[in-house]
Amino acid sequence: MSRPNPADVLTAVVAKLLATAAVTARVGTRVYNHTPQDQRDFPYLRVRLSRLPQDDTKTSRGLDCDVIVEGWTNYDGDKEALELAAIVDEALDMATLTLAGGQQVVFIQYVDAMVNDPPDDLPRSVFQTYHLKATT
């Protein structure tokens, strides 16, 4: 019995976002696991994992991690960042995800969000954290 692969978790989260009409209506296919080379194409989302402890029991092997979704925009003010946060939350909070090999995500739940307040000439961002548990 193998533990859920963090790369499979990342792939499932990105797939869920890209399968959500409100997300693609706002960002198209600009959902990345990296910072795009050409940062002139806004808005976009960046997805990454943080904190990857094992979560094993006597009968299963698990992964307990945080999913960070960054929404980036060049809009002046917080409005578009907050709109990005709302559509990401609609897509991910309490969502059902299936990983490669049929492993299940037991839950993905919203933890918190923070809007970055840069000087006016820099892109604005919102960082959302979700707690995720996956098990075999």
In a domain, 1, yes or no: no
pLDDT digits (tens, 9 = 90+) for 113-131: 999 988 877 888 999 999 9
In a domain, 28, yes or no: yes
In a domain, 91, yes or no: yes
Assess whether the previous peptide bond of 118 is cis (omega < 30° from 0). no
How far is residue 64's CA from residue 105's CA, in Å, rounded to a whole number? 10
Going residue by residue through the chain, which has 136 residues, state the pLDDT in tens, using 9 for 90 and above.
Answer: 677 788 888 999 999 999 999 999 999 999 999 988 877 789 999 999 987 666 666 667 778 889 999 999 998 889 999 999 999 999 999 998 888 777 777 689 999 999 998 887 788 899 999 999 887 7
In a domain, 92, yes or no: yes
Q: Check: pTM over 0.85? Answer yes or no.
A: yes
Distances in whole angstroms, Cα of residue 67 to Cα of each of 12, 37, 40, 44, 46: 11, 22, 25, 16, 11
In a domain, 129, yes or no: yes
Number of domains in the chain: 1
List the CATH number of the domain containing 13: 3.30.2000.30
Which residues in the chain belong to E strands, given as ranges? 31-32, 44-50, 62-73, 104-115, 124-135
Residues 98/105, Cβ–Cβ less than 8 Å = yes
Q: Closest by alpha carbon to 106, among 7, 33, 1, 12?
A: 12
In a domain, 60, yes or no: yes
